[in-house]
Amino acid sequence: MLLAGGLLSWVLLVNGCVRELGGAPGWFQTSHLLDRQQALLELAWHGLRWATGSVHEGPNRAAVRREARRAGIPVGLALAVARAESGMHCYRVSATGAMGLMQLMPATARELEVGDAFDAQQNAAGGSRYLAQLLRRYGGEASRAVAAYNAGPGRVARRGAVRLPAETRSYVRKVMTLYRGGGAGGRAWVSGD
């Protein structure tokens, strides 16, 4: 019953949003009430599955696993980065313009020859290759590589662990906690506050 109520709430929300926006987009417009209700129910169902992660998490997780192995990096670390970056959703865009599953900046995506940053497989491949480069650069120190993944290698080299932005320090702790929770060990480079 709770699920039905939640689904109905979602349908009403979508219906209200469509009305507020001045009508549905072309692919959503229908001539019959029943067709419109069915379309709303389908949209609500997909939205519910998207919100719970059940639509994309499995295939996206598989893409990250596959590409991490191909890049020769710890699978758990790549999964932790993808989870922290996008919540394992391949259509996320950050306020700074980072895109996709592993939140690649447009310039980084181009350098890594990622043609479609919203394609989970391509994004996971690019993100894993980039993480592999950073791990090599920092002698396998996962937390330092993760800091560079978030803040950029130049900023990590200039500032060191203590002087990194609070957002980066928090990000490193989050990724390393997720990584350790997956059975991997290792001390975090960014510690303390």
Catalytic residues: 85
Whether residue 135 contacts residue 186, with contact meaning beta carbons closer than 8 Å, is answered with no
The closest of 134, 135, 142, 137 to 179, measured between CA atoms, is 142
Angle between helices 57-71 and 75-86 (to 10 degrees): 140
Residue 5 CA from chain centroid, whole number: 29
Residue 37 CA from chain centroid, whole number: 31
Residues in the chain: 193
45 contact partners, CB below 8 Å, separation of at least 6: 7
In the block, tokens 């059975």 appear at 183
CA 135 – CA 119 distance, rounded (Å): 24
Please give the structure tokens belonging to residue 68.
């991490």
Please give the structure tokens belonging to residue 26.
């072309």
